Structure 1
Amino acid sequence: MPKRAKISIIGGGNVGASCAMWAAAKELGDIVVLDIPQAENMVKGKMLDLFQCAPLERFDAKITGTADYKDIADSDVIIVTAGLPRKPGMSRDDLIETNAKIVKSVSENIKEHSPEAKVILVSNPLDAMVYTAWKATGFPTNQIMGQAGCLDVARYKAFIAMETGFSVEDVNALLLGGHGDTMVPLPRFTNISGIPITNFISEERLNEIVDRAKVGGGEIVKLMGTSAYYAPASGSVQMAEAIIKDKKRILPCAAFCGNNEYGAQDLFVGVPAVLGANGVEKVLDLDLNAEEKGYMDTSIEAVKELVGIVNKMFPELAK
């Protein structure tokens, strides 16, 4: 019998636990959720609770809660959710100093215990945290990526479905750029079953929906008092599934641009990428019009600024 895939999730809070739930429901493989020693009993309890859903939801998987990094050994995919969540009045960028330290430590442990894993970052500010993990692990760039676009596109599609009344399954869309208020929705690539979105929504209303998508995370924070978790987790597991099943899916994610794609040389930024068994197998470099390129340039500059902060914090990573 073929060996089950192994998915490890670093961080057992709302996002991490939701990742485990979606991965179990999709029966993607065995699941390990790791948290700090002070939260060991909490994460063990959550995972025991989740495993007890197996007879009801009809999935087979070994599900483990732990505080020991040895338990992530031989993971196929690792999803990193560790870090502080946003609170009302905070931007993703406000989290950088604390979360960069956490992600660096987590990444060093991943390097030690599971050096072949494909790593998906969820921690914010996303693009800078992917860079931090890349530098701290020293992994090839195809092994490191960030979950951003899958979530952002899902929000954009959801708002379009809400507006039009059509099924979310028939909404096709794309976003580029950094994960944050400078993300770049692309109405030109938005359609419903191949029919241009402008056949259904006025340009003025579409711009309002685009603006709502840009601040979609902040809207959730204002309502709940903390960051979203169901949708970020679902976006992360969509990426994990594409890797585990070698689906060759084109998904928007924070991937490494090493050939000056979109002008983002040697940066991780939101781009359409092919995800398969080798992780990020290809970045698709689209021809943008002048307006789209302007927005993308602004987004890339914002990512560069955050990466600069990380390099000042950890000069050894900048080498």
Structure 2
Amino acid sequence: MAHKRKKIAVIGAGFVGSTTAHWAAQKELGDVVLLDVNEGAAIGKSLDLFQSAPIENFDSKVKGTANYADIQDSDVVIVTAGMPRKPGMSRDELVGINAKIVKDVCAGIKQYAPNSVVIVVCNPMDVMAVYAKQQLGFPRERVIGMGGCLDSARFRAFIAEELNVSVKDVTGVVLGNHGDAMMPVVRTASVGTTPITDLLSADKIKAIVARTKQAGAEIGGHLKTGSAYYAPSRGAVEMAEAILKDQKRILPVAVELNGEFGVNDGLMVGVLAKLGGAGMEQIIDFKMNADEKAEFDKSVEAVRALVSTLKTVQ
């Protein structure tokens, strides 16, 4: 009997999707299927990526397609399809446009990869993750939003830059929503094992937190058209790797809360969770102090407000 290789489907062959396929293939996480309504883009980018395999020495197969039948039995599906946020456009304005795309995508996933773990990347991520979960009807363990891995990477990058230390020795997480109300957790951020509050002034920390919250907009402002794609795609692949290799990683991801942290109305909010072979295997009960809980609650409200705009999309 032939051994089944792991399979990753990436929906959307734009900058985020094609770069997601790139990281996944390069890391040999499994065979990659890149799907886009623009079949030519999906096939062309897949061929190009596959032709780098002899140089980079990876054995992952890469296939481009517009046909959902090709994602059959994928272990992980990463949804990047959707319009990017344009400069000056709020994440909210994207809801109507991208919900329609996500609805079609979910129909394809349900039909051909009903046992997959789905990672939602497209913006506004919190809402699209909630909408995808509604459309898919999968258990909460198998629909996860990518926001925290990206926001936490930005937070850590800015701390490392400010202190002129290796990013490898910086820990820090961002919880809450993937938007202006995100919550970089200053209290637990550290360099080595030293809290950043011992190493940086309150003003410096405040500036890093503010920059982290606006990091996506900062990049968009420089690019003029389009938005970030290297770090968002790498965040999605960090999650996919944890699942495909059953790593039991503790990562900041958006999952549906069923009473955890006082949230129980089907909202998907960024928390620390264990990712393994079954998808989201455990939510880590992060003990927040009063200030953090107040900030987290504000973040939850931001998600709730965005999700309420979904009611007009059907």
* TM-score normalised by length of structure 1: 0.96
The residue type paired with residue 14 of structure 1 is F
Residue 10 of structure 1 corresponds to 11
Bigger CA drift: 286-295 or 125-134?
Answer: 286-295
String of CA shifts for 1:216-261, please: whole Å, max 9, x gaps: 1000000012210000000000000000000000000111111x21
> In 2, distance between residues paired with 1:270 and 1:142?
14
String of CA shifts for 1:86-130, please: whole Å, max 9, x gaps: 111112222111011111111111101110000000011111101
Work out whether 1:26 is the aligned partner of 2:27: yes
Unaligned runs of 5+ in 2: none
The answer (yes or no) to whether the contact 2:187–2:197 under 8 Å persists in 1 is no
Give runs of aligned pairs for residues 93-242 of structure 1, distance below 5 A.
Answer: 93-225=92-224, 226-242=226-242
> In 2, distance between residues paired with 1:264 and 1:48?
45
> In 1, distance between residues paired with 2:46 and 2:32?
9
String of CA shifts for 1:34-93, please: whole Å, max 9, x gaps: 000xx2112101110000010000000110000000000100000000000011111222
Other structure's SS at 2:92 match? helix
> In 2, distance between residues paired with 1:6 and 1:176?
29
For these two proteins, the number of residue pairs brought into alignment is: 311
The residue type paired with residue 280 of structure 2 is V
> Deviation above 4 Å: which 4+ runs of structure 1?
none
Unaligned runs of 5+ in 1: 315-319
Residue 295 of structure 2 corresponds to 295
Residue 317 of structure 1 corresponds to none
Other structure's SS at 1:93 match? coil
Q: Deviation of residue 311 (structure 1)?
A: 2.7
> In 2, distance between residues paired with 1:294 and 1:74?
42
> In 2, distance between residues paired with 1:169 and 1:263?
34
> In 2, distance between residues paired with 1:24 and 1:133?
25
Taking every aligned residue pair, what percent have the same amino acid on both sides?
51
Q: Deviation of residue 309 (structure 1)?
A: 1.4
The answer (yes or no) to whether the contact 2:25–2:61 under 8 Å persists in 1 is no
Q: Deviation of residue 310 (structure 1)?
A: 1.1
> In 2, distance between residues paired with 1:146 and 1:247?
18
The residue type paired with residue 228 of structure 1 is A
Q: Deviation of residue 199 (structure 1)?
A: 2.2
Residue 52 of structure 1 corresponds to 51
The two structures, once aligned, show a CA RMSD in angstroms of: 1.0
> In 2, distance between residues paired with 1:162 and 1:2?
45
Bigger CA drift: 296-305 or 143-152?
Answer: 296-305
